[in-house]
Structure 1
């Protein structure tokens, strides 16, 4: 089996019986992407992580490709890119705990005013503060991370409502109208791109908060700014934005009710080592003729 893998030290040191590994440039800068190339030859499998989109499009067309393992939780267009018959696997276990804890920290921080207080330079009135007890938290894209978040929030008394691909339009509307907090964990697909726009934001209760830990293009940025400026939306926590990275001087910066983190909700110091170990486990299963458990079959 010949497998294309990210060129990172943790992957180069893997010992994989019966596997020939070749490496592509990963997590390269925008300038470096122009000169990034794939190694020559056919491959049986692809481990995708930090892969430039140009290389991704080329890699999936290599003859003999049988499977792709993306070391992300989201699948961001992979199903549309893959030729018929190529299996797709994801790696949600690498990200579940970190993203859920990041989301829980955001919900607690917004309620206790930490976002606002972090920017103040003098002692003043506390402003609006709340706890999660009885607060309705709607998780749109309720899957593995959402279930982890539900466990974390339960001791605080939050009422969590989960929405997924099986939720009906009526169920979605009902949940949005109840939401004190809307947490986005959706993948980016043709159906979910800009799914949160003026109409969805208008259905939320006045003063509710938006928390996006999915992809920036789930949210119409202009509609978000309008909802913040009007006061209809109480605030927002954004680990992802559109555009991304958010440029200097963008009107989302510097707001006392907006917290922006640089797409790090799933980041941990040991991520590269864990990602390499996870890839080795999946490749081992495939070389033994076993079916890994994380095959992607639906959108979310």
Structure 2
């Protein structure tokens, strides 16, 4: 079996048997500018731009692709139906859950306001009208919209903090979904980007949330109508937003989201950890061993799967 891997030391070690490699697999390595010639059975896709990704997905003889991301929109639709697609959501689930919780706790404790005051060398942070209280997550209703692996990790983190956690799945009846959203103190978006979810949080949904609710997005930026979000944040209907992803992404310099005091922005880093590359190589090794042993690896993606 010939497999194309990212040209990184952690992945090159997979071909070295005394370093925990994978016997019986021949490896070649691609970079941002170089794709090896010839057929291959599989591609482990990571850290490449569109042109290189397109060339990799056109590799002759391709049987499977493992993308070391949770999202698959950059791959889905570009593969023939006979090529199996796997994602690596388990590589990122816990980090994304921790990032979402970190943003929620920072917002509840007003850390963003105190950081802004620190930049001005002011001891006291300015109060935001109607939203100045420092709170905890005790007795707060948290709705996880998109209840998969990340949602379950986040629920495990939230329950010891006293939060009431509710999940919304694709099968949740619309009346139940609307009731949960209307009661929510926090709504955490964990949805993938699909034709059914793009723009799912628009002006009607934002207006349906109770005044003072906070919105967290660690899913995809295009889940939210950004203009409607800015309006809801500016007029005080929303308490605030914690956004790791935006639409557009990255935000242009003049965009109003940069300057709203009730917004916490991070640059699409929710899944980033210092050990991400070694963990990605280890996941790849386990994946290849499963294949070699005739087992179905984790992460098989079914087109149009529900959340």
Distance 2:148 2:216 in 1: 16
Q: Which residue of 2 aligns with 1:18?
A: 24
Unaligned runs of 5+ in 2: 16-21
Number of aligned residue pairs: give it: 291
Change (3 A) 1:139 1:89: same
SS at match of 1:68: strand
Q: Which residue of 2 aligns with 1:123?
A: 124
TM-score, normalising length: structure 1 = 0.91
Q: Which residue of 2 aligns with 1:105?
A: 102
Give runs of ≥4 in structure 1 deviating > 3 Å: none
Q: Which residue of 2 aligns with 1:31?
A: none
**Of residues 67, 70, 74 in structure 1, which corresponds to 2:71?**
74
Preserved contact between residue 114 and residue 124 of structure 2 (Cα < 8 Å): no
Unaligned runs of 5+ in 1: 27-35
CA distances 1:60-90 after superposition (whole Å, capped 9, x unpaired): 2333211111111222253322211221212
Q: Which residue of 1 aligns with 2:217?
A: 212
- What aligned pairs does 1:49-88 form with structure 2 within 5 A after superposition? 49-88=46-85
Matched, 1:263 2:268: yes
Q: Which residue of 1 aligns with 2:19?
A: none
Preserved contact between residue 77 and residue 189 of structure 1 (Cα < 8 Å): no
Distance 1:166 1:124 in 2: 43
Structure 1 residue 230 displacement after superposition = 1.2
- What aligned pairs does 1:111-260 form with structure 2 within 5 A after superposition? 111-120=108-117, 121-123=122-124, 127-260=132-265
RMSD (Å), alpha carbons: 1.7
SS at match of 1:191: coil
Change (3 A) 1:168 1:58: farther
Distance 1:55 1:164 in 2: 35
Q: Which residue of 1 aligns with 2:18?
A: none
TM-score, normalising length: structure 2 = 0.89
Preserved contact between residue 140 and residue 163 of structure 1 (Cα < 8 Å): yes
Preserved contact between residue 290 and residue 296 of structure 2 (Cα < 8 Å): yes
Moved more, 285-294 or 258-267: 285-294
Preserved contact between residue 95 and residue 266 of structure 1 (Cα < 8 Å): yes
Structure 1 residue 103 displacement after superposition = 1.0
Change (3 A) 1:57 1:7: same
Structure 1 residue 129 displacement after superposition = 2.3
Moved more, 245-254 or 138-147: 245-254
Distance 2:173 2:39 in 1: 43
Preserved contact between residue 77 and residue 188 of structure 1 (Cα < 8 Å): no
